[in-house]
Structure formats: structure tokens, C-alpha cells
Chain A
Amino acid sequence: MNSFFRAAAGLVLMSSAIFMVGCAGPAANYSPSIANVETLKKGNIVASNVGSITVAATVQGGTSVRLRAHTMESPIGSNFGDYIANALRQELELAKLIDTKSSTVISGELLRNEMDSSGISTGEGQIEAHFLVKRDGQIRFDKVKRADHKWESSFVGGIAIPNAIRAYPELVQKLITALVADSEFVNALKK
């Protein structure tokens, strides 16, 4: 009987070690918002290019975000600026409005990227980025956009951490929705 309990304890420790502590892995894939895509399609805008979204030196979660004992990294490029640039690119691509040779270029700088998964019932995230639209080198749009997101969390790391990983694309989607919903942004991209 003792050996059974030792085996069970071993399984608990192994499961905990694997899924509750000390792992590093990618954020979930970004999924474009169809509402954003439809807004872009109806905006009479030019096919545009997405340049780089850099990470401000002051941003702590620029290259990795701590989710309890787990480290979340960007599955795209080398930091979360690359993740956001790719997300924006996906929205434009789905609207068939991406042109890598376009003289209209959207770029930016990530100013804040925080995910707090420590809560036992709720997780919270904040993201903020400075976006620029340039056409032929001339600035047409220059604004900071931010978004907040809350999600269901848990006492159990095996649930809280995947929940936070799944919540990150939703936070980024809210940031891009804030950008696309700004009529000045759409006007800056107009033909």
C-alpha cells in the first residue's frame, strides 16, 4: 500500500513539475477579428505594408511574460512587438489589403505588455502601443492605443497558466480593434 502512495505522490510531483512550474512556451496563435477585417475592407483604404513594431526599453514584458512560474514567449520573431506586427499583418492580409511594396507603412512601438495571472479567480492584462502611419515618408497618423483584458483564472496553475496563454491573443486583438475603430487611422490609410 505504501508503494502505491509513493507512486501516487510521484505522479503528483511529476505532473506539477511538468505543468505548474518552470516551463517556457509560446503565446497562443493570434486569430484576426473578422469585425476588424470587415471594417478594413469597407474603409476604401490602400493596400499597406506593416513595418516593425519595436519594444520600448522600459517595457518589462517585451520579450517574455511571466505567468506564475511559466514564461510565455512570442511564437513570432524575437519579441512581442513582432507578435503585434504579425497580428496587424494578418488582419490586413485577411482583408486582402497587404502589400509589402506599398509606400503606406504602419509601424509602432510597444509601450506596455503586462499579464497578471496570479489571481485565483481573475487574470488581468494591459497592453499599450504607439502606432504610426507613414505614406511616402510623411506621417499621417500618430497615436497611442491601449487595451485591457480580464479572464477567468484559477488557484490551479495547470488551469491558470493555459488560461492566461489563451487570453494573450484576445488582449492583442482588443488593441488592434482600438486602432482599427479609430476613424483617423482608417482615414490615414485611405486611397
Chain B
Amino acid sequence: MIKFLKFVSAAVACTVLFGCAHPISMTPDLAKVQAAGATPIAKSVGYHISIANRGLEVTTPGGGGDKVRYFPYKDLEAGLYKVLSEVFSSVTKIDDPKNDAELKKSGITMLIVPDIGTTSSSPSLVTWPPTKFSVTLVCTITDADGKLIQNLSVTGEGAAEFDEFKSNHSLTAQRASNDALAKLISALGNAAEVRR
């Protein structure tokens, strides 16, 4: 019995201390995704996220030797849609960018394909939520014929300490998402090639 209890204790200790990948959410606060009073560019744009990317779960470091896992594309899609709605007059989701019929029917003049990269870290030995998080959004912008217009890249940063994230373990990720989306609004709005 004592051996069994020792085994269970060791298993629990290992599970708690090492190697866990804790789920978090990168979903931003959409109320904070806003262009500051700028008039939307009168263009109809589309964006494409592949099915594989939408289902992609990423694992990156947390604290105490643990990791965190999340769905970057799924969590950021609504935020990206909101960014495009703030910058352009019309936004459409494009399921298959190689489908000419879908592209024609949608009436879009530009297609935006995002590539999302993330990092996370924590110096803590005891707590697993990351104290730092970054989101890099690289947007490949093409015209309706697939000709490259511009590549835009922005990086959002999020940081939080224990007192802040003890009730919301996703806080640094959410802050990084909001920062990246705010920077993307600004970058798109200021891109001369996009306005032409």
C-alpha cells in the first residue's frame, strides 16, 4: 500500500511539476480592436486561413518547465476580421484562394493571407503561465490575380506578472494579440500600396 501511495504521489508530482502543456487562449478583447476614427479604405478585401492552420495547435514554453498550448489561427481569426473591417469597407472570408469562381463571386480586389508566429516564456520556477508572450503577424497581400502587392509584418508583445495573471492564465497571450492587431490596423492604414 505504501509503495502504491509513493507511486501515485510521484506520478502526481511529476505531472504537476514537469512536462504539462496547459491550454490557454489567445483570443483578444475585440472591443479594443478599433481604428482611431479613420475612414475605411473603399476596397473589398478577402482573407484566407487554411483548414489546416485553423486547426493548428501550437505548444510553446511556460514557467516551471511546463508548456502552454493554444490555437493561434482559430483564436485570432475574429480579431483579424475586425482589423480588416476597421481598415476596409468590405471583408469576405475566402475558403479556397485558387478557386477563380469563388474569388470572382466575392468581388474582392485584394487577398490577405496571414502567417502567425508566437513565442512565450517565463522565468518562474513555480508557476506555469507565461510572463511574456509575442505574436508576429505576417500578411501576404496580393491582388485578385495573385500578384504580390506587399508583405506586412507586425509583432505584438504582452507581459504580465503573477498578481495580474493568477485569475487569467491567458492574459499575456491576450495582451500580445491585442497589441499585434492594433499594430496591424496602423500598418495597413499607412501602407501606400494597399491604398492604391
Which residues of A (1-45) have their CB < 8 Å from a CB of B?
A: 8-9, 11-12, 14-16, 18-20, 23-26, 28-34, 37-38
Q: Mark B163-185, 1 if CB is under 8 A from A, else 0.
A: 00011111000100000000000
Q: Mark A81-100, 1 if CB is under 8 A from B, else 0.
A: 00000000010011010000
Please give, as numbers and ranges, the residues of chain A lying within 8 Å of B20 by CB-CB distance.
156, 158-159
Q: Answer whether residue A62 sits at the interface, using C-beta atoms and an 8 A cutoff.
A: no
B126 touches A15 (CB 8 A): yes
A156 touches B174 (CB 8 A): no
Cα-based distance from A97 to B166 in the complex (angstroms): 36
Q: Answer whether residue B78 sits at the interface, using C-beta atoms and an 8 A cutoff.
A: yes
Interface size, B (range): 35 or more
- Give the interface centre of A26, A28, A30, A155 by most chain B CB atoms within 10 Å: A28
Please give, as numbers and ranges, the residues of chain A lying within 8 Å of B29 by CB-CB distance.
29
Please give, as numbers and ranges, the residues of chain A lying within 8 Å of B132 by CB-CB distance.
none
Q: Answer whether residue A140 sits at the interface, using C-beta atoms and an 8 A cutoff.
A: no
What 3 A-B pairs have minimum CB-CB distances, sorted nearest first? A25-B167, A28-B25, A29-B27
Instruction: Give A residues with C-beta under 8 Å from B.
Output: 8-9, 11-12, 14-16, 18-20, 23-26, 28-34, 37-38, 90, 93-94, 96, 155-156, 158-159, 162-163, 165-166, 169
Instruction: Give B residues with C-beta under 8 Å from A.
Output: 12-13, 15-17, 20-25, 27-30, 64, 74-75, 77-79, 81-82, 85, 92-93, 125-128, 166-170, 174
